[in-house]
Amino acid sequence: MATTYCSVEDVADLLRIPITATSIPNKAQIEKIINRKEDEFDRRTGHAWRLKTKTRELHDLPLLYTFGWGTPVFLQHRNVYDLNTSEGDKIEIWQGSSSTWENIIGNSQWYDANYERGVIHLRGFIFSILRKNRVRVTYRYGGEGYAGDATIPYDVEDCVVKMTAIDVLNGSLRMDRLPIGGSGVDLESIKKDWRGDIEKCIENRREVFTIT
């Protein structure tokens, strides 16, 4: 199972234990935990450093207009990939008269995009009466690629490693099988310090959203 933000070896280095295909816990189990923690990190920060897809994100048409661009639609994520129908991307406009969604990707006269900021500009809708739930967007963001985050920051890697390590320790119901501990080692204190580091990283990386 592929991991992105950190590796099994990173977790093993922090815990100072060997993790192999036959160890307890084994490599596959640690990879599952890393994947869960990657999802948690993305959800709590509102951003991702790996390829993700947002499906059918619904928007109203705001009463705004940028000269030379059009009516802006502010996506929930930045660093968006180039919109491409072959990759499943869509900008769908609700057609009230026929009760259908029309995908306008491929017809550049109707839209433009600022991929870094995550803004779609629609042309030809400034005088539209129908604005509520008018636009539905499916797009890819994060990870490598144009406007993407190609490098995992060290603090993000460290955060997910510690999130995973805490879960490993909490799920170890047979501590005699983990070569951890010993005289003078307070695991609860260590986990408390790690949690502090995790919360600090998430707070620093949390995206700021504006409501329009």
Tens-digit pLDDT profile for residues 7-47: 999 999 999 999 999 998 899 999 999 999 999 999 999 99
How many whole angstroms separate alpha carbon 70 and alpha carbon 20? Answer: 55
What is the mean pLDDT of the segment spanning 70-89?
A: 94
Q: What is the rounded average pLDDT of the residues 63-72?
A: 91
Residue with tokens 């990870």: 143
Closest to 8 (Cα-Cα) out of 180, 174, 187, 168? 168
> When comparing pLDDT for 177 and 194, which is higher?
194
Q: Give the mean pLDDT of 88-117.
A: 93
Q: Given this model, what pLDDT does residue 9 score?
A: 97
pLDDT reported for residue 114: 93
**Contact between residue 121 and residue 111 where contact means Cβ atoms under 8 Å apart:** yes
Residues 110 and 100: their CA atoms lie apart, in Å, by 17
pTM for the model stands at: 0.85
- Residue 186 above 90 pLDDT? no
